Chains A and B, each alone.
Chain A
Amino acid sequence: MKPGTSRLALTPRQCEGLIASEGGSCSPLPLAGEGPGVRAMAVGVRNRRGLALLALALLPVSAHAADPTSVYRQMLAEDNPAELAVAHGQQLWEQPRGPRQAALTACDLGQGPGVVKGAFAALPRYFADTASVMDAESRLVHCMVTIQGFDRQQLAAAPFSEAGAPQTDLEALVAYVAAQSRGAKIRVPQSTSEEHDSYARGRDLFYRRAGPYDFSCANCHGADHLRIRLQELPNLTRPEGARSAFAHWPAYRVSQGAVRTMQWRLSDCVRQQRWPQLIFGSQASIDLSTYLGVLAAGGTMDAPSVRR
């Protein structure tokens, strides 16, 4: 294989992603004080089109490397500890478990029974069998109850793991399901009246001011460049902000050493707003996801990600 060989600052994953479409090879060059998180890669491609793509690849990476936070996150993203949860989640999906000793492989996440690939990118959505709009987490609970015979109250009572404890089954399953949508376009459907209503309720909740501080979600997430101490807050009313948020949850939260789900993220925001507790799997919690997901249309799923 002849061609162009370029020397680029890329992570091995970026290099592989680039090469996959064009054919070619990536090999690490001997390193000498390159920036953290990226390596000098010798990238060889077959043809001129590939060379043009290589040139394009230079642009986003150099901008990326400038921000110290993104350097830190990039160094962690490649070997994301969430992979352990994903592997465990896959086991839980495939193994016969619960009082009925059945596997979740019959579970319908919206793409047909047992179809996991791409399903997370199209949730929440309407399900005829429950006549309601459900997100990934409530749908997984539904399957664990109806297919495997687990107790709904028990699952809903402690869906999230405590600090220092292993991941719950639900967290592992969500990590696995989300991982099977990595790279998929976000396309939360708005094809039924129930889905439209869910979006509208979610939007109303987003803008509603309540609680002792009269906070709405929009207070923190409705304008550019807002932050809490050193934590930048995404502007969810902008497509880029919504896409970034929806694409990256569930996430491995470094500060907690655990995978945290979207339901967890929402309930923790609600807690900080000093609102009453957001009940796990409630229609309100699902509606907020529908609203965010629709705003994020066209984005690309990349979960589980790494977050502080």
Chain B
Amino acid sequence: MDNSRRDFVSAGSLLAALIAVGSKAADLAQSPSNPWNQAAFEAKTVADALKSLGIPVAQGGGEVNLTVPEIAEDGAVVPVIVRCRAAGTRELHILVDKNPFSLAASFFLPDGTDAFVSTRIRMNETSNVIVLAVTDKQTYLARKQIKVTIGGCGG
């Protein structure tokens, strides 16, 4: 596993880096300690995203849990909660099978931070949502289908 992923810098220097980058409005903002994984976020399939993330094929299931609504009234806002029971969880990733760009989010967890995140994603259509948990030892995967309805007028 790439050591640079666990290279956490102090808030002060991180902020300084971010402010320095902020002044270059035209470029895709990059933070030296948290370089945005462009290849992974622009991958069009789950397989390609995983390749760019450098994540090996998932070896296990059960430990990672995905909580999502069965039906999302509007694909613009779909709540997703991810938890992993395995010790030493370092990364959590959320992908959407049928989205134009598969990778939605990556979370990097230092020691002391729970293997738990909750966020809201956009879904283009009814699709599988896939989450991956990466620990020191192995990778876990969970997958659930969310039906996306386009409701009628009103509400």
Contacts and interface: CB of A to CB of B under 8 A. Distances in A.
Interface of A: 31-34, 36-37, 68-69, 71-73, 75-76, 220, 227-231, 233, 253-255, 257, 268-269, 272, 307-308
A32 B66 CA distance: 10
B124 to A, nearest CB: 14
A68 B71 contact: yes
A254 B73 contact: yes
A28 B68 CA distance: 18
Given A254-B77, A255-B76, A36 B151 contact: no
Given A68-B71, A72-B71, A76-B77, 18 more contacts: A31-B65, A33-B65, A36-B81, A68-B69, A69-B71, A69-B73, A71-B70, A72-B73, A76-B120, A228-B154, A230-B152, A231-B153, A254-B73, A254-B76, A255-B151, A307-B155, A308-B74, A308-B155
Contacts of A33: 65
B79 A75 contact: yes
Given A68-B70, A72-B71, A308-B73, A233 B65 contact: no
Contacts of A231: 151-155
B154 A255 contact: no
A76 to B, nearest CB: 6
A258 B143 CA distance: 30
B38 interface: no
Contacts, number: 67
A255 B148 CA distance: 12
B67 interface: yes
B74 A228 contact: no
A268 B83 CA distance: 41
A33 B144 CA distance: 13
Interface residues of B, number: 22
B154 A36 contact: no
A268 B152 CA distance: 13
A33 B70 CA distance: 14
Contacts of A34: 67
B131 interface: no
B116 to A, nearest CB: 9
Interface in B15-42: none
Nearest to A255: B74
A281 to B, nearest CB: 22
Interface in B75-132: 76-77, 79, 81, 83, 120
Contacts of B83: 31
B77 A36 contact: no
A269 B76 CA distance: 22
B154 A71 contact: no
7 contacts: A36-B67, A36-B69, A69-B71, A72-B69, A72-B79, A229-B152, A254-B77
B133 interface: no
B67 A72 contact: no
Contacts of A37: 69
A10 B13 CA distance: 42
A220 B69 CA distance: 29
Contacts of B71: 68-69, 72
Interface string B48-71: 000000000000000001011111
B76 A229 contact: no
Nearest to A253: B155
Residue of B67, B120, B150 ringed by the most chain A CB atoms within 10 A: B67
B151 A233 contact: no
Contacts of B134: none
B77 A272 contact: no
B72 interface: yes
A71 B69 contact: yes
A68 B73 CA distance: 9
Nearest to A228: B152
A16 B134 CA distance: 34
